[in-house]
Chains A and B, each alone.
Chain A
Amino acid sequence: MEAVTPITAIEEEIVDEFSLFDSWEDKYEYIIDMGKKLPALEDQYKKEENKIRGCQSTVWMVSEAKDGRIFYKADSDAVIVKGLISMLIRVFSGQKASDIVSADMKFIDDIGMSTHLAQTRSNGLRAMIRQMKLDAMAWNSKQ
């Protein structure tokens, strides 16, 4: 099996990338770009049971387990949220369930995106992380 970059190393990469930006515009343009590049989720997955309901944008997410590793696909109708999901997928997809569950996600603070974690109703990021961890736990218990 090919080697998987550990979660903390990917997080560090992302923090390094963000450290290059010195304005909020650059940061968001990067996130928007990631959002635009995330492949659209196939229509068959865009159904009610795959929805993560934040108040404002709709997020769909599906996951599968292969050889003890969890893979995620997701989409949203809002592009910034989609960029944030893309980043989460980059960190989590292909990792071991136990690593996903125990990840502390501190890097979100380090890249200055913790406002998206604030407990407001419009917020999807917190709900997405929670769902990704729940999925990982569910796959883990099935194995």
Chain B
Amino acid sequence: MESVLNKKTLDVQVVREQFPILKRQVKGYPLVYLDNAATSQKPKVVIDALVEYYSNYNANIHRGIHTLAEEATAAYEQTRETVRQFLGAASTEEIIFTRGTTEGINLVAYSWGRANLKAGDEIILSSLEHHSNMVPWQMIAEEKGAKVKIVPISDEGEFNWEAFELMLSEKTKFVSVVHASNALGVINPVKKIIEAAHAVGALVMLDGAQSSVHLDIDVQELDCDFFAFSGHKVYGPTGAGALYGKRALLEAMPPFEGGGEMIKQVTYEWTTYNDLPYKFEAGTPNIADTIALKPALDFVSSIGKDVIRAHEAQLLEYATNELKKLPGLKIMGDVKDKVSVVSFVMEGIHPQDIGILLDNQGIAVRTGHHCAEPLMNRLCIPGTSRASFAMYNTLEEVDSLIRGLNKVIKMLR
């Protein structure tokens, strides 16, 4: 680990050593894992933390006064502090643990939306949204008689600023946009979006599922009202994520779910709710995975997002250039401001065929609509093939992808 910690450029071989799964073979080939936007692989420190928790201090938290419960509670709350730092939040009371981005968005849509939306109100989303940042808003809008409006994009996936400005009005109550698109990698101009939305009195939520692993996040600097992310896309375990919300907003919001942990006092007739953040954490949470999220975030910080970004940018640039040399290949979302995701279509070849034939060569990419069906319809394609890079990917793996695609072309055309 030493050499990873003290370098300005990333030593990818040393990084790879930390990820046991990368030694795997798939169908007789060394695994080339390029589906990091779906979920990233886990370093040893994360796997060890899970084993350590279950082997040494498994207990329910915030309840028992025994030693194990205290140790588990302390570790759980340490993750909250680490997440606070990771997002640049002012206080741990603004950090609510969730299963992931989807739950964070649903929490806000239901809790804030139920209490605040009324008929005729408008919610604005962008055309790039993942279903997770679309369906909850459609559901609450329907319940409340509110309207969901969609900001159009250019053919390359860029946010249409003029259209957004025209859509904003005193009717706009909420704007929820993806920070970086999972389907195309395109980064939305969120700082400007937040400023403009606030100017008409609307709140803004960022879907940080893709941005949190690549970009430096500072929710105070961004001034977003809510920010949700999933730990499993930041080298952490599945089922552990967090929602940031500004304290005043969270305090005014009704609870999302009722149950244990979220209460202060319960009688048969009435209940008073616990303080933040526990008000929004009903029931026994995902203790183990939340605890193991901390070493994941620490791992990223110890290397440095800037160092990781530089490495991933190199992979993205190389992949983009090499892909463009393939006949009939078109990159979707070929813009400058991107996270390390490259999505492409190949003339006359269905993405599913690409996915199947690459899998037979040990190469994992994502193919399909990437849970963004409206976006695929907007781009007039059934889906794309997507390679997404993480800190442990190598230029040689990009070469494998290109070789794999050449084989696909040979077999299909």
Contact = CB atoms under 8 A, between A and B. Distances in A.
Given A56-B351, A57-B350, A77 B382 contact: yes
Nearest to B366: A122
A125 B85 CA distance: 47
B411 A29 contact: yes
B152 interface: no
A58 B369 CA distance: 12
Interface residues of B, number: 18
B27 interface: yes
A4 to B, nearest CB: 32
Contact of B355 (A28, A79, A122): A122
A80 B382 CA distance: 16
A24 B408 CA distance: 12
A114 to B, nearest CB: 14
Given A79-B350, A80-B352, A122-B355, A32 B382 contact: no
A56 B351 CA distance: 8
Contacts of A28: 356-357, 360, 411
B353 interface: yes
A85 to B, nearest CB: 13
A78 interface: yes
Interface string B390-413: 000000000000000001000110
Given A28-B357, A122-B367, A122-B368, A81 B411 contact: no
A25 interface: yes
Contacts of A77: 350, 382
Given A56-B368, A122-B367, A78 B412 contact: no
A125 to B, nearest CB: 11
A58 B351 CA distance: 12
A55 interface: yes
A81 B357 CA distance: 12
B191 to A, nearest CB: 35
A19 to B, nearest CB: 18
Contacts of A24: 27, 360
Contact of A57 (B27, B352, B357): B352
Nearest to B373: A55
A22 to B, nearest CB: 13
A80 B408 CA distance: 12
Interface in B352-372: 352-353, 355-357, 360, 367-369
Contacts of B349: 79
Nearest to B407: A25
Nearest to B383: A56
Interface string A15-29: 000000000110011
Contacts of B382: 56-58, 77
A116 to B, nearest CB: 8
Contacts of A80: 352-353, 356-357
A87 to B, nearest CB: 15
Nearest to A55: B368
* Among B352, B383, B412, residue most surrounded by chain A Cβ atoms (within 10 Å): B352
Contacts of A32: 353, 411-412
Contact of A78 (B352, B360, B411): B352
B349 to A, nearest CB: 8
A133 to B, nearest CB: 23
B27 A79 contact: no
Interface string A43-63: 000000000000111100000
Interface in A67-113: 77-81
Nearest to B27: A24
A76 B360 CA distance: 21
A82 to B, nearest CB: 9
B163 to A, nearest CB: 30
* Among B27, B349, B353, B382, residue most surrounded by chain A Cβ atoms (within 10 Å): B353
A32 B351 CA distance: 14
B249 to A, nearest CB: 35
A76 to B, nearest CB: 8
Given A24-B360, A28-B357, A55-B368, A79 B351 contact: no
Interface of B: 27, 349-353, 355-357, 360, 367-369, 382-383, 407, 411-412
Interface of A: 24-25, 28-29, 32, 55-58, 77-81, 122
29 contacts: A25-B360, A25-B407, A25-B411, A28-B356, A28-B357, A28-B360, A28-B411, A29-B411, A32-B412, A55-B368, A55-B369, A56-B350, A56-B355, A56-B367, A56-B368, A56-B369, A56-B383, A57-B350, A57-B352, A58-B382, A78-B352, A78-B353, A79-B350, A79-B353, A79-B412, A80-B357, A81-B352, A122-B352, A122-B355
Given A56-B352, A77-B350, 4 more contacts: A25-B411, A55-B369, A56-B355, A79-B353
